[in-house]
Amino acid sequence: MSTTPTGTPAARTTRPRLLRGLSWLVLRQHRTTLICLAALAVLGSLWIVYQRGRLIGLLDTAGWPEQDVALPVVGQQYSYLTLLLGSLPGVLAVFLGAPLIAADSEQGTAQLVTTQSVTRRRWLIAKLGWCFLITLAVCTTLSAFFTWWWTPYRSVLSDQWMDGTVFDNTGPVLPALALFLTAAGVTIGALLRRVLASMVVTFAFCVAAQVAWDVSREYLAPARRLTYPLDEELPARLSDAYELDSWIATADGQLYGWGTCVEATEKASAACIADTGIVSNVYEYLDYSQMAAMQWTAAGILLAGTALLTAFVLWRSSRRPL
C-alpha cells in the first residue's frame, strides 16, 4: 500500500536488528522474565559445580572409594538444591505459563497484537514457541549439570534413584516435566483469562500432578522378579534396585506375605516355615539399569501431553478469540 520505506531517517536503524517481527515482540515483552530465567540457569549451574567440587574434595580427603566415608557427605545445601530443581517446573508453570496468555487477555494487549496484521494463531505460535524454548533451555542446562554431579557419586548421596528428587531432576525428565506443567499453565491461563485465578489454579494443578506423578512413577517399566533361597542374602548387584514388593514362597511358587511366619519364638517360626513348605524369597524390583529407559518413557509421556495441550490451545484460538 504505502510506498514509504520503513526506516526513513538514517539514525534510527544504526544497529542491525537481530530479531524481527513477532520474535522481537515476544522477547521484548518478556524481557524481565527472560533475564531472570537466564540468571537462574547460570547461577544454578555454578552452584552445582561448586557443590560438586566440594564433594570431590571431601571424598578425596577421605580416600573414597577405597575407604568408606561417613554418610551423609552432603549437607543442607544438597537438599536446598534438589528442592530448587524439584520446584522449578511448578514455578515455571505458575509464573511463566499461567500469565503468558492470561496477562494479555486481561490487559487487552492480546487484542492490540491481534488487530495488527498478525493472526491469533501466528502470535500464539511465537509466544508458545519462545516460552517452551526458554523452559527447555533452562531445565536442560540444570538437569545436565545435576546429572553430571549425581551419576558418579550416587552411592554416597542420600537419595535413591527412584526418589522424585533424583528421578524427576535428572536426564530428560526435568525439562519434559517443566514443559508439560508450563503447557498446562498456558492452557489454564488461556481458558480463565485472568492472571491471578490462572496462577492459583495452575498451582493446584501442579500439586495434584506431582502427587499423581509420584504414584505412577513405578509403572514406567515392567517390574522384575527374583527368587532366591530363603536362607540367603539379597544379591549384592541389587543394592541399587528399588524394591516394589517382597514375599516368601513355596517350591511350587505359591506366594505368602512377608510376615506370614513371623512368630514369637524362632522355633515356632521354623515350624511354620516347614509346615507351609516355604523355601524361597521372592523380590520384586526395578533395577537401576532400567532408569534411563524409564526416564525416556516418562519424558515421552510428558511431551505427548505437552503437544496435546498446545494443539488444544492453538485449535481453540482459531475458533474463539483470546
Partner 1 sequence: MADTSIPSGLPGAWALEARGLGKRYRRGWALRDCSFRLPAGRICGLVGPNGAGKSTLLGMTTRQVEPTEGELRIFGVAVGEASVMPRFAFLGQDKPLFKRFTVAETLRMGSELNPGWDMAAAERIVRSGDVPPHARVGTLSGGQRTRVAFALAFGKRPDLLLLDEPMSDLDPLARDEMSTLLMAEAVERGTTVVMSSHMLTELEDMCDYLLVLAGGRIRMAGDADALVPAHTLVTGVTRDGRLPAGLDGHTVIENRVQGRQFQAMVRPNGPLSGDWQTSEPSLEEVLLAHLRSPDAPPLYTPGARVGAEGTRTA
Nearer to partner 1, 24 or 50 (CB): 24
Query: Is 76 a binder of partner 1 (CB under 8 A)?
Result: no
Considering only 59-67, 83-91, 209-217, 314-322, which stretch makes contact with partner 1 by CB under 8 A? 314-322
Distance, CA of 38 to CA of 210 (rounded, Å): 25
CB of 91 to partner 1, least distance (A): 22
> Which residues are CB-neighbours of 48 under 8 A, at least 6 positions away?
81, 142, 145, 146, 148, 149
Residues 260-279, interacting with partner 1 (CB under 8 A): none
CB of 94 to partner 1, least distance (A): 21
Question: How far is residue 89 CA from its own chain's centroid?
Answer: 6
Q: Burial-class residue 147 by CB neighbours within 10 Å (0-12, 13-18, 19+).
A: middle
Nearer to partner 1, 22 or 41 (CB): 22
CB of 15 to partner 1, least distance (A): 12
Nearer to partner 1, 28 or 225 (CB): 28
CB of 84 to partner 1, least distance (A): 28
* Phi and psi, residue 168, nearest 5°: -80, -15
Cβ proximity of 287 and 238 under 8 Å: yes
Cβ proximity of 176 and 229 under 8 Å: no
CB of 68 to partner 1, least distance (A): 57
Nearer to partner 1, 123 or 242 (CB): 123
Count of chain residues binding partner 1 (CB under 8 A): 29
Query: Is 315 a binder of partner 1 (CB under 8 A)?
Result: no
Residues 2-41, interacting with partner 1 (CB under 8 A): 2, 4, 6-8, 12, 20-22, 24-25, 28-29
77, 107, 151, 254: which one binds partner 1 (CB under 8 A) = 107
Residues 108-127, interacting with partner 1 (CB under 8 A): 108-109, 111-119
Nearer to partner 1, 26 or 199 (CB): 26
CB of 300 to partner 1, least distance (A): 34
CB of 17 to partner 1, least distance (A): 9
Nearer to partner 1, 6 or 76 (CB): 6
Distance, CA of 148 to CA of 49 (rounded, Å): 9
> Which residues are CB-neighbours of 75 under 8 A, at least 6 positions away?
none
Nearer to partner 1, 20 or 267 (CB): 20
65-103 as b/e, with b when 16 or more CB fall inside 10 Å? eeeeeeeebbeeebeebbeebbebbbbbbbbbbbbbbbb
Cβ proximity of 186 and 98 under 8 Å: yes
Nearer to partner 1, 9 or 229 (CB): 9
Query: Is 320 a binder of partner 1 (CB under 8 A)?
Result: yes
CB of 20 to partner 1, least distance (A): 6
- Chain contacts with partner 1 (rule: CB under 8 A): 1-2, 4, 6-8, 12, 20-22, 24-25, 28-29, 107-109, 111-119, 319-321
